[in-house]
């Protein structure tokens, strides 16, 4: 089978699978690009969308695949999403193992002119939690060996924004100065946020947080903090009795007063632990995606990270 016919076969097979299985229920704000004079950009998850909007400004149309209110780890690509990617000029994803659907998607895309950007490709990745010799997690299932939540380090957010900017400059040289100016302005905002994080967290009396989801490794690594997570990187299963006992004993020993949970994940386990030790629960947002309310309120990466800083301050004082 020639390469050409092999690609056609893979694409046809992918679309057939989407028709038969539904491939999820993505509900983007729209499923087509409206302005043919602008760069057409598809992003995968909210951080990539927000970084791209800040740099591309009004020179591009940007559509994000994972809709508000959807946990990205649970997202499945639809046939309409594939059609959208086929019509795009640029496809931007985080990488680092975050988007499980990307490899299959790129293998099926027939758009030879599509520019693909893996924003986290130049970032040093952190290992996930403890693994046994066979790369299995506590429940015996294969898990990601690296933490994909790279953007929770503000320095990484700057690096990923720069990677996006460089692609825009290369692809649209006529507007290079515009993209460069937007990037520099956004970088200054991120650097200001990073400075506030350093000033605030350097004076805390505690250094450990308890989270429902092992998503905050990059943030903790950046500021000398430690996270004790109830669940793994994808928060896809409830902890067993032994794990619950371990977490409860850890919280009592370390006098933990706040158990963090996330907007897009059930708070049930966090509330159970908090009730057991007499603590309270609060949101710590991994910024994987927005809720519909956050989207309606106009929150963005910086706004959510500011809320996270206030939550960390309360937990660590």
| pLDDT, position 312 | 98
Cα–Cα nearest to 46, from 290, 308, 284: 290
**110-114, 135-139, 241-245, 249-253: which has the minimum mean pLDDT?**
135-139
CB 289 within 8 A of CB 94: no
| pLDDT, position 236 | 58
Question: Which pLDDT tens digit goes with each residue over 34-91?
Answer: 888 899 999 999 999 999 999 999 999 999 999 998 888 888 899 999 999 999 999 9
CB 247 within 8 A of CB 293: no
Percentage of the chain exceeding pLDDT 70: 84
Question: Which pLDDT tens digit goes with each residue over 147-174?
Answer: 999 999 999 999 999 999 999 999 999 9
Q: Is the pLDDT confidence value at 249 over 90?
A: yes
Burial class (CB in 10 A: 0-12, 13-18, 19+), 157: buried
CB 4 within 8 A of CB 25: no
CB atoms near residue 90 (< 10 Å): 22
Question: Which pLDDT tens digit goes with each residue over 206-246?
Answer: 999 999 889 999 999 999 999 999 988 766 567 889 999 99
Can you give the pTM of this predicted structure?
Answer: 0.86
| pLDDT, position 9 | 46
| pLDDT band at residue 139 under the 50/70/90 scheme | very low
**Average pLDDT in the chain:** 87
| pLDDT, position 203 | 84
Cα–Cα dist 225/208, whole Å: 6
Q: Is the pLDDT confidence value at 113 over 70?
A: yes
Cα–Cα dist 238/52, whole Å: 35
Edge-to-edge strand ranges of the sheet holding 39-43: 60-64, 39-43, 90-93, 115-118
| pLDDT, position 233 | 76
């Amino acid at each position: 089978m020639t390469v050409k016919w092999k690609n056609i076969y893979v694409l046809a097979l992918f679309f057939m699978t989407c028709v038969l299985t539904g491939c999820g229920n993505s509900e983007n704000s729209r499923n087509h690009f409206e302005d043919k004079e602008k760069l057409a950009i598809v992003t995968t998850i909210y951080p990539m969308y927000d970084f791209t909007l800040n740099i591309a400004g009004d020179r591009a149309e940007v559509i994000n695949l994972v809709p508000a209110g959807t946990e990205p780890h649970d997202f499945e690509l639809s046939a309409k999403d594939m059609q959208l990617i086929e019509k795009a000029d640029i496809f931007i994803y985080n990488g680092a193992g975050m988007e499980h659907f990307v490899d299959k998607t790129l293998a099926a895309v027939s758009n030879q002119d599509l520019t693909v950007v893996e924003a986290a490709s130049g970032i040093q990745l952190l290992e996930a939690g403890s693994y046994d010799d066979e790369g299995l997690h506590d429940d015996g299932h294969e898990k990601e060996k690296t933490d994909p939540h790279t953007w929770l380090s503000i320095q990484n957010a700057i690096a990923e924004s720069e990677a996006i900017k460089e692609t825009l400059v290369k692809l649209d040289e006529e507007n290079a100065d515009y993209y460069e100016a937007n990037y520099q302005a956004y970088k200054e905002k991120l650097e200001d946020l990073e400075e506030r994080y350093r000033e605030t967290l350097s004076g805390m009396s505690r250094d450990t947080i308890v989270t429902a989801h092992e998503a905050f490794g990059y943030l903790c690594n950046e500021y000398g903090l430690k996270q004790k997570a109830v669940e793994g990187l994808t928060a896809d299963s409830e902890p067993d009795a032994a794990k619950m006992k371990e977490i409860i004993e850890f919280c009592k020993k370390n006098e933990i007063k706040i158990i963090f949970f996330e907007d897009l994940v059930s708070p049930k386990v966090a509330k159970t632990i908090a009730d057991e030790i007499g603590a309270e629960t609060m949101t710590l947002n991994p910024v994987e995606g927005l809720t519909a309310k956050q989207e309606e309120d106009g929150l963005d990466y910086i706004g959510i990270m500011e809320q996270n800083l206030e939550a960390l301050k309360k937990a660590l004082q």
